[in-house]
Amino acid sequence: MVHDISVTLDVETQSAISRWITKTAMVLEAAIPVEKRFYSRDDCRQLRLGIIPERSMIWLGRMSEVGVFAAGTRVWLNIDKDTDKRADGVVATFSVGNLASQILTFRFPEHYNATTMQVQCFDGPWEESLITIHPTNGPVTWPPGLTFSLKGKLPFTRLRDRWKVGRAL
């Protein structure tokens, strides 16, 4: 995928790639002070056992240009008007060669842990430009139908910023 070669990913391979993307997001956070990090020491320990944090979603895309890029940002989901009813999250977006990837993880207040919620992002051709690899639903084929680029109809910045709903861009 880094070298732009089409491939079918079985569930085991998707799991391995998902762990690598999660690890990379955790390493990216090492650049900020410990008290401001999203992923906990326990999350890191669990990942060593192969367990990706709950409420994580991971996607793969394709880049037309070859390069290396990494960015992460905090996001949140307002469940209602009370500040203790807000889900905090983090999103990390990477590209290596022709492979683009993104992980989104949320933490919900304890009284919402058993709740399923729909997380909104900006409208975009996400079904055609991204492949979901976590949670997995069986084998998938890469690359997706649409490709990200540095400029043009589907810029990589649109993927990077798709979860910044409610912020002026």
C-alpha pair distances (Å), 154 with each of 2, 61, 147, 159: 19, 11, 7, 8
pLDDT of residue 165: 67
The residue extents of the domains of the chain are 7-160
For the question of whether the overall pTM of this predicted structure is more than 0.85, the answer is: yes
Lowest mean pLDDT among 76-85, 140-149, 160-169: 76-85
| Four-CA torsion 89, 95, 101, 106, nearest 10 degrees | -10
Q: Which of 102, 89, 96, 87 is nearest to 158 (CA)?
A: 102
Looking at residue 119, its pLDDT comes to 73
Q: DSSP string of 50-99?
A: T-PPTTEEEEEEEEEEEEEEEEEEEEEEE-SSSTTSEEEEEEEEEEEEEE
Question: What's the confidence (pLDDT) of residue 156?
Answer: 94
